[in-house]
Structure 1
Amino acid sequence: MAETTNSKFINAPPHQVFQALADPKSIEVWQVPGDMTGKIHHFDFKPGGKYEMSLFYPDADNTQGKSGDKEDKFAAEFVEIIPDKKIVEKIHFDSGDPNLQDAMIMQIDLAPESKGTNVTISFKNIPQGVKPEDNEEGTISSLEKLAQIVEGK
Protein backbone atom coordinates (compact mmCIF):
# COMPACT_ATOMS: atom_id res chain seq x y z
CA MET A 1 0.00 0.00 0.00
CA ALA A 2 1.12 3.49 -0.81
CA GLU A 3 2.15 6.17 1.68
CA THR A 4 2.60 9.94 1.47
CA THR A 5 4.01 12.57 3.85
CA ASN A 6 3.81 16.36 3.55
CA SER A 7 4.85 19.11 5.96
CA LYS A 8 4.36 22.85 6.31
CA PHE A 9 5.57 25.44 8.79
CA ILE A 10 2.69 27.47 10.24
CA ASN A 11 3.39 30.73 12.00
CA ALA A 12 1.35 29.93 15.13
CA PRO A 13 1.85 27.91 18.32
CA PRO A 14 0.83 24.22 18.39
CA HIS A 15 -2.22 24.93 20.57
CA GLN A 16 -3.65 27.32 17.99
CA VAL A 17 -3.03 24.85 15.14
CA PHE A 18 -4.57 22.02 17.17
CA GLN A 19 -7.73 24.07 17.72
CA ALA A 20 -8.19 24.37 13.94
CA LEU A 21 -7.61 20.63 13.55
CA ALA A 22 -10.28 19.87 16.18
CA ASP A 23 -12.98 22.31 15.03
CA PRO A 24 -15.54 20.90 12.55
CA LYS A 25 -16.22 24.29 10.89
CA SER A 26 -12.50 24.75 10.35
CA ILE A 27 -12.13 21.17 9.05
CA GLU A 28 -14.84 21.85 6.46
CA VAL A 29 -12.46 24.46 5.02
CA TRP A 30 -8.90 23.24 5.49
CA GLN A 31 -9.37 19.51 4.87
CA VAL A 32 -10.99 20.16 1.50
CA PRO A 33 -8.43 20.25 -1.33
CA GLY A 34 -8.45 22.73 -4.20
CA ASP A 35 -11.81 24.13 -5.28
CA MET A 36 -13.82 21.39 -3.61
CA THR A 37 -16.27 22.15 -0.79
CA GLY A 38 -16.88 20.13 2.34
CA LYS A 39 -19.66 19.27 4.76
CA ILE A 40 -19.35 17.40 8.05
CA HIS A 41 -22.45 15.31 8.79
CA HIS A 42 -21.52 14.14 12.30
CA PHE A 43 -18.53 14.98 14.57
CA ASP A 44 -17.40 13.46 17.87
CA PHE A 45 -13.85 14.59 18.69
CA LYS A 46 -12.50 12.08 21.21
CA PRO A 47 -10.46 8.86 21.02
CA GLY A 48 -12.83 6.29 19.56
CA GLY A 49 -15.11 9.08 18.34
CA LYS A 50 -16.07 9.36 14.70
CA TYR A 51 -17.08 11.82 12.05
CA GLU A 52 -18.57 11.63 8.59
CA MET A 53 -17.71 14.13 5.88
CA SER A 54 -18.48 14.72 2.22
CA LEU A 55 -16.17 16.47 -0.22
CA PHE A 56 -17.86 17.89 -3.31
CA TYR A 57 -16.20 18.55 -6.67
CA PRO A 58 -17.11 21.86 -8.36
CA ASP A 59 -19.84 21.66 -11.00
CA ALA A 60 -17.38 22.67 -13.71
CA ASP A 61 -15.09 19.75 -12.80
CA ASN A 62 -15.68 16.57 -14.80
CA THR A 63 -14.36 14.33 -12.02
CA GLN A 64 -16.58 11.44 -10.94
CA GLY A 65 -16.73 11.17 -7.15
CA LYS A 66 -15.72 8.05 -5.24
CA SER A 67 -19.14 7.86 -3.53
CA GLY A 68 -21.39 9.26 -6.22
CA ASP A 69 -21.72 12.04 -8.74
CA LYS A 70 -19.20 14.71 -7.68
CA GLU A 71 -19.03 13.45 -4.06
CA ASP A 72 -16.35 11.74 -2.00
CA LYS A 73 -17.92 10.68 1.30
CA PHE A 74 -15.95 9.08 4.10
CA ALA A 75 -16.18 8.08 7.73
CA ALA A 76 -13.23 8.60 10.05
CA GLU A 77 -12.49 7.27 13.52
CA PHE A 78 -10.19 9.13 15.90
CA VAL A 79 -7.68 6.43 16.86
CA GLU A 80 -5.40 8.68 18.92
CA ILE A 81 -5.58 12.29 20.08
CA ILE A 82 -2.75 13.95 21.98
CA PRO A 83 -3.68 17.62 22.44
CA ASP A 84 -1.30 20.05 20.74
CA LYS A 85 0.83 17.14 19.43
CA LYS A 86 -0.91 14.44 17.36
CA ILE A 87 -4.16 13.23 15.78
CA VAL A 88 -4.47 9.78 14.16
CA GLU A 89 -7.54 8.87 12.12
CA LYS A 90 -8.68 5.68 10.38
CA ILE A 91 -10.57 6.67 7.21
CA HIS A 92 -13.06 4.56 5.22
CA PHE A 93 -14.42 5.78 1.89
CA ASP A 94 -18.14 5.30 1.30
CA SER A 95 -17.81 3.50 -2.02
CA GLY A 96 -18.73 0.25 -3.69
CA ASP A 97 -15.40 0.24 -5.56
CA PRO A 98 -13.29 -2.67 -4.25
CA ASN A 99 -10.17 -0.54 -4.85
CA LEU A 100 -11.39 1.92 -2.17
CA GLN A 101 -12.34 -0.53 0.57
CA ASP A 102 -9.14 -0.56 2.63
CA ALA A 103 -8.96 1.74 5.65
CA MET A 104 -6.48 4.58 5.19
CA ILE A 105 -4.58 6.00 8.17
CA MET A 106 -4.00 9.75 8.44
CA GLN A 107 -1.60 11.01 11.10
CA ILE A 108 -1.13 14.70 11.85
CA ASP A 109 1.93 15.61 13.92
CA LEU A 110 2.57 19.05 15.42
CA ALA A 111 6.16 19.93 16.27
CA PRO A 112 6.86 23.27 17.97
CA GLU A 113 9.53 25.35 16.27
CA SER A 114 10.79 28.83 16.84
CA LYS A 115 7.75 31.12 16.53
CA GLY A 116 5.50 28.45 15.06
CA THR A 117 4.63 24.84 14.38
CA ASN A 118 5.79 22.32 11.81
CA VAL A 119 2.69 20.38 10.74
CA THR A 120 3.24 16.97 9.12
CA ILE A 121 0.40 14.97 7.60
CA SER A 122 1.20 11.34 6.77
CA PHE A 123 -1.06 8.82 5.06
CA LYS A 124 -0.51 5.08 5.27
CA ASN A 125 -2.36 2.23 3.60
CA ILE A 126 -3.67 4.47 0.80
CA PRO A 127 -6.24 2.35 -1.11
CA GLN A 128 -5.39 1.29 -4.66
CA GLY A 129 -8.20 3.48 -5.99
CA VAL A 130 -6.47 6.65 -4.75
CA LYS A 131 -3.43 7.83 -6.71
CA PRO A 132 -0.66 8.74 -4.23
CA GLU A 133 0.24 11.82 -6.30
CA ASP A 134 -3.40 13.04 -6.10
CA ASN A 135 -3.41 12.41 -2.34
CA GLU A 136 -0.16 14.34 -1.99
CA GLU A 137 -1.43 17.25 -4.09
CA GLY A 138 -4.61 17.40 -1.99
CA THR A 139 -2.59 17.33 1.24
CA ILE A 140 -0.41 20.24 0.07
CA SER A 141 -3.57 22.24 -0.70
CA SER A 142 -5.06 21.34 2.68
CA LEU A 143 -1.91 22.42 4.53
CA GLU A 144 -2.00 25.77 2.68
CA LYS A 145 -5.63 26.28 3.73
CA LEU A 146 -4.83 25.28 7.33
CA ALA A 147 -2.06 27.88 7.41
CA GLN A 148 -4.42 30.56 6.07
CA ILE A 149 -7.03 29.77 8.74
CA VAL A 150 -4.59 29.65 11.63
CA GLU A 151 -2.46 32.62 10.54
CA GLY A 152 -5.59 34.68 9.80
CA LYS A 153 -4.69 35.41 6.19
Structure 2
Amino acid sequence: MARTDTASRVIAAAPDRVYAALVDPGALTAWLPPDGMTGRFERFDAKPGGSYRLVLTYADASAAPGKTTADSDVVEAHFVDIVPGVRVVQAVTFVSDDPAQAGTMTMTWEVTAVEQGTRVEFRAEDVPAGISAEDHAAGLTSSLTNLAEHLEKAP
Protein backbone atom coordinates (compact mmCIF):
# COMPACT_ATOMS: atom_id res chain seq x y z
CA MET A 1 0.00 0.00 0.00
CA ALA A 2 1.30 3.46 -0.90
CA ARG A 3 2.39 5.59 2.03
CA THR A 4 2.23 9.35 2.46
CA ASP A 5 4.56 11.13 4.89
CA THR A 6 4.01 14.72 5.98
CA ALA A 7 5.78 17.37 8.03
CA SER A 8 5.32 21.08 8.64
CA ARG A 9 6.90 23.96 10.48
CA VAL A 10 6.37 27.67 10.94
CA ILE A 11 9.47 29.66 10.04
CA ALA A 12 10.06 33.24 11.13
CA ALA A 13 10.74 34.51 7.61
CA ALA A 14 8.68 36.07 4.83
CA PRO A 15 7.02 33.67 2.36
CA ASP A 16 9.05 34.98 -0.59
CA ARG A 17 12.33 34.16 1.22
CA VAL A 18 11.10 30.69 2.17
CA TYR A 19 9.91 29.97 -1.36
CA ALA A 20 13.22 31.19 -2.81
CA ALA A 21 15.05 28.66 -0.59
CA LEU A 22 12.99 25.87 -2.20
CA VAL A 23 14.19 26.62 -5.74
CA ASP A 24 17.76 27.87 -5.25
CA PRO A 25 20.40 25.11 -5.49
CA GLY A 26 22.82 26.93 -3.17
CA ALA A 27 20.19 27.32 -0.48
CA LEU A 28 18.98 23.74 -0.94
CA THR A 29 22.45 22.27 -0.39
CA ALA A 30 22.70 24.36 2.79
CA TRP A 31 19.44 23.16 4.38
CA LEU A 32 17.95 20.11 2.63
CA PRO A 33 20.44 17.38 3.63
CA PRO A 34 19.36 15.95 6.99
CA ASP A 35 21.79 15.90 9.92
CA GLY A 36 24.78 13.69 9.17
CA MET A 37 24.64 14.30 5.41
CA THR A 38 25.93 16.77 2.86
CA GLY A 39 24.57 17.38 -0.61
CA ARG A 40 25.68 18.56 -4.03
CA PHE A 41 23.80 18.99 -7.27
CA GLU A 42 25.19 17.51 -10.47
CA ARG A 43 22.54 19.45 -12.40
CA PHE A 44 19.64 21.70 -11.42
CA ASP A 45 16.97 23.37 -13.54
CA ALA A 46 14.03 24.66 -11.48
CA LYS A 47 11.18 25.04 -13.96
CA PRO A 48 8.17 22.86 -14.82
CA GLY A 49 9.65 19.96 -16.76
CA GLY A 50 13.16 20.77 -15.47
CA SER A 51 15.14 18.30 -13.44
CA TYR A 52 17.96 17.80 -10.99
CA ARG A 53 20.36 15.15 -9.82
CA LEU A 54 21.33 15.42 -6.17
CA VAL A 55 24.04 13.40 -4.44
CA LEU A 56 23.58 13.11 -0.68
CA THR A 57 26.62 11.78 1.18
CA TYR A 58 26.59 10.32 4.69
CA ALA A 59 29.28 11.51 7.11
CA ASP A 60 29.20 8.04 8.74
CA ALA A 61 27.98 5.32 6.39
CA SER A 62 28.25 2.68 9.12
CA ALA A 63 25.34 4.28 10.96
CA ALA A 64 23.12 4.65 7.89
CA PRO A 65 24.13 2.83 4.71
CA GLY A 66 23.32 4.61 1.49
CA LYS A 67 20.68 3.63 -1.03
CA THR A 68 22.96 4.10 -4.06
CA THR A 69 26.46 3.39 -2.74
CA ALA A 70 27.76 2.51 0.72
CA ASP A 71 27.87 6.19 1.68
CA SER A 72 25.47 7.99 -0.65
CA ASP A 73 21.92 8.43 -1.89
CA VAL A 74 21.55 9.70 -5.44
CA VAL A 75 18.25 11.39 -6.26
CA GLU A 76 16.92 11.87 -9.78
CA ALA A 77 14.02 14.31 -9.84
CA HIS A 78 11.97 16.40 -12.17
CA PHE A 79 9.77 19.38 -11.43
CA VAL A 80 6.13 18.52 -12.04
CA ASP A 81 4.65 21.86 -11.03
CA ILE A 82 5.98 25.16 -9.78
CA VAL A 83 3.67 27.92 -8.60
CA PRO A 84 5.99 30.83 -7.74
CA GLY A 85 5.69 31.88 -4.14
CA VAL A 86 3.30 29.03 -3.32
CA ARG A 87 4.27 25.47 -4.24
CA VAL A 88 6.96 23.20 -5.69
CA VAL A 89 6.01 19.66 -6.77
CA GLN A 90 8.69 17.14 -7.70
CA ALA A 91 8.73 13.52 -8.86
CA VAL A 92 11.68 11.96 -7.03
CA THR A 93 13.40 8.60 -7.55
CA PHE A 94 16.34 7.20 -5.60
CA VAL A 95 18.97 5.55 -7.80
CA SER A 96 19.22 2.09 -6.23
CA ASP A 97 19.52 -1.58 -7.13
CA ASP A 98 17.34 -2.42 -4.11
CA PRO A 99 13.72 -3.02 -5.23
CA ALA A 100 12.49 -1.79 -1.82
CA GLN A 101 13.88 1.66 -2.72
CA ALA A 102 12.32 1.59 -6.20
CA GLY A 103 9.49 3.84 -7.22
CA THR A 104 8.85 7.50 -7.65
CA MET A 105 7.69 9.68 -4.77
CA THR A 106 5.75 12.85 -5.41
CA MET A 107 7.12 15.51 -3.08
CA THR A 108 5.15 18.71 -2.55
CA TRP A 109 6.46 21.76 -0.68
CA GLU A 110 3.92 24.52 0.04
CA VAL A 111 4.38 27.89 1.72
CA THR A 112 1.61 29.91 3.36
CA ALA A 113 1.86 33.27 5.11
CA VAL A 114 0.93 33.11 8.80
CA GLU A 115 1.15 35.70 11.56
CA GLN A 116 4.50 34.36 12.80
CA GLY A 117 6.08 34.15 9.33
CA THR A 118 5.55 31.25 6.93
CA ARG A 119 4.12 27.78 7.35
CA VAL A 120 6.04 25.25 5.28
CA GLU A 121 4.16 22.05 4.57
CA PHE A 122 5.81 19.01 3.06
CA ARG A 123 4.04 15.95 1.66
CA ALA A 124 5.70 12.85 0.17
CA GLU A 125 3.27 10.52 -1.61
CA ASP A 126 4.01 6.94 -2.73
CA VAL A 127 7.04 6.65 -0.42
CA PRO A 128 9.00 3.47 -1.31
CA ALA A 129 8.60 0.66 1.23
CA GLY A 130 12.37 0.55 1.85
CA ILE A 131 12.32 4.03 3.39
CA SER A 132 11.37 3.58 7.03
CA ALA A 133 8.60 5.89 8.23
CA GLU A 134 10.59 6.67 11.38
CA ASP A 135 13.79 7.55 9.49
CA HIS A 136 11.87 9.58 6.91
CA ALA A 137 10.06 11.56 9.63
CA ALA A 138 13.40 12.26 11.35
CA GLY A 139 14.95 13.36 8.05
CA LEU A 140 12.03 15.66 7.21
CA THR A 141 12.10 17.21 10.67
CA SER A 142 15.86 17.71 10.39
CA SER A 143 15.54 19.37 6.97
CA LEU A 144 12.80 21.72 8.20
CA THR A 145 14.92 22.61 11.25
CA ASN A 146 17.85 23.31 8.93
CA LEU A 147 15.62 25.47 6.72
CA ALA A 148 14.45 27.49 9.72
CA GLU A 149 18.03 27.97 10.94
CA HIS A 150 19.18 28.91 7.43
CA LEU A 151 16.47 31.56 6.99
CA GLU A 152 16.14 32.86 10.53
CA LYS A 153 19.84 33.68 10.84
CA ALA A 154 20.06 35.39 7.45
CA PRO A 155 19.15 39.08 7.05
TM-score by length of 2: 0.94
Q: How does 1:50-89 map to 2 (within 5 A)?
A: 50-59=51-60, 61-89=62-90
**Other-structure match for 2:129:** 128
**Other-structure match for 1:113:** 114
Aligned partners of 1:30 and 1:52: how far apart in 2?
A: 16
1:4 Cα deviation after fit:
1.0
Aligned partners of 2:90 and 2:33: how far apart in 1?
A: 16
Unaligned runs of 5+ in 2: none
Aligned partners of 2:4 and 2:135: how far apart in 1?
A: 12
Question: Is the 2:10–2:116 contact (alpha carbons within 8 Å) kept by the matching residues of 1?
Answer: no
Aligned partners of 1:12 and 1:59: how far apart in 2?
A: 32
2:44 maps to a residue whose letter is F
Aligned partners of 1:38 and 1:14: how far apart in 2?
A: 24
Name whichever of 22-31 and 56-65 sits farther off.
Answer: 56-65
Q: How does 1:10-49 map to 2 (within 5 A)?
A: 10-49=11-50
**Other-structure match for 2:97:** 96
Q: Does 1:147 align with 2:154?
A: no
Secondary structure at the residue paired with 1:119?
A: strand
Question: Is the 1:3–1:132 contact (alpha carbons within 8 Å) kept by the matching residues of 2?
Answer: no
Note the aligned Cα RMSD (angstroms).
Answer: 1.2
Secondary structure at the residue paired with 2:126?
A: strand
2:73 maps to a residue whose letter is D
Unaligned runs of 5+ in 1: none
Following TM superposition, the consecutive aligned residue runs of length 4 or more in structure 1 with deviations greater than 4 angstroms are none
1:134 maps to a residue whose letter is D
Question: Is the 1:13–1:115 contact (alpha carbons within 8 Å) kept by the matching residues of 2?
Answer: no
Q: After superposition, what is the alpha-carbon deviation per residue over 1:11-42, rounded to whole angstroms, capped at 9, x for unaligned?
A: 11110101111110111121100121111110
Question: Is the 2:36–2:60 contact (alpha carbons within 8 Å) kept by the matching residues of 1?
Answer: no
Question: Is the 1:10–1:118 contact (alpha carbons within 8 Å) kept by the matching residues of 2?
Answer: yes
TM-score by length of 1: 0.95
Secondary structure at the residue paired with 2:53?
A: strand
State the identity %. 36
Aligned partners of 2:58 and 2:22: how far apart in 1?
A: 22
